[in-house]
Amino acid sequence: MYKGNNTIDNLSNALEYLNLSNNILTGCVNMQQYARQFARLNVLDLHSNRLIEGIIFDDFESDFPLPNLTYVDLSGNWLHGNFTLRQIPPRLEYLDISINRFTQLHILGDDNSVLKYLYLHDNVFNITSPFSSFLQQLEHFPLLEVVTFDRSHVQENVSTVILPPKLQILSGSDNALRGRLNLSILPSTLEYLDLSGNELTEVILEGVSGEEGKLKVLSLSNNKLYRTSFLDHLKSFPKLETLQLSENELNGSVPWAQ
């Protein structure tokens, strides 16, 4: 092996792609340490290991901004405790912390963020603030296209939820979301909405913009919906291909029977 000037430090400083996924690595992830050692890092993939500790991105200050980081995958580990994202690397587009044991989530967004993909599903978040405030954190990520938080113990009211303007996929099934779902808050870019397995009681379509919606899949099975009046207005979504409403409490005449 030729060493020359290629010390470990030099190699570390040049590293752009780091993939250690599908191993049995243990311990913690210290993003400040990664920032110091791998200043040019573009991709960090540690998914499917046994990482169990460490505060990811906590106190991640501007001294070590990882300016080139675009992709972080920490899914499928045993990470627990708080996930705090105080400062987002300026080029980060993909963040996956799904299938872990995080109990708290706190994200301070930046209107200049380029984050597009955020995967939070299969955690044990104890999110007790109004659900709108949870998603209002996402408002500060104007380029978000995909958000998942299925099976994450979210117990909130969705009545005043506001979504990012370019969102295409929102999946929050099997939580304890409650209240009225106002489809008028859907951005015209949204194609897939799955809130099945929750406690929603009503769907309203106030102010839906008629022919602009791109919604293809609407899954609201296994909720507590009882009114069918909203079904008459689904023509507002001309591209709708899949409608899941099973295991609710819908009553009245069979829709579209006449």
**Blockwise average pLDDT, block size 10, the chain, 258 residues:** 42 85 88 79 94 62 70 92 77 94 77 91 74 66 94 85 90 93 87 97 74 87 93 85 96 71
DSSP 4-56: TT--HHHHHHH--EEE--SS---SB--HHHHHHH-TT--EEE--SS---B--T
Q: What is residue 130's predicted lDDT score, i.e. its pLDDT?
A: 47
Q: What is residue 62's predicted lDDT score, i.e. its pLDDT?
A: 47
Q: What is residue 147's predicted lDDT score, i.e. its pLDDT?
A: 96
Q: What is residue 106's predicted lDDT score, i.e. its pLDDT?
A: 75
Q: What is residue 256's predicted lDDT score, i.e. its pLDDT?
A: 66
Whether 254 and 231 have beta carbons less than 8 Å apart is answered as no
The dihedrals phi and psi of 185, each to the nearest 5 degrees, come to -85, -5
Alpha carbons 16 and 39: distance in angstroms, whole number: 8
Domains, the chain, ordered by start: 16-244 (3.80.10.10)
Q: What is residue 229's predicted lDDT score, i.e. its pLDDT?
A: 85
3-state secondary structure (DSSP) of residue 221: coil
The dihedrals phi and psi of 204, each to the nearest 5 degrees, come to -125, 155
Q: What is residue 197's predicted lDDT score, i.e. its pLDDT?
A: 98
Q: What is residue 221's predicted lDDT score, i.e. its pLDDT?
A: 98
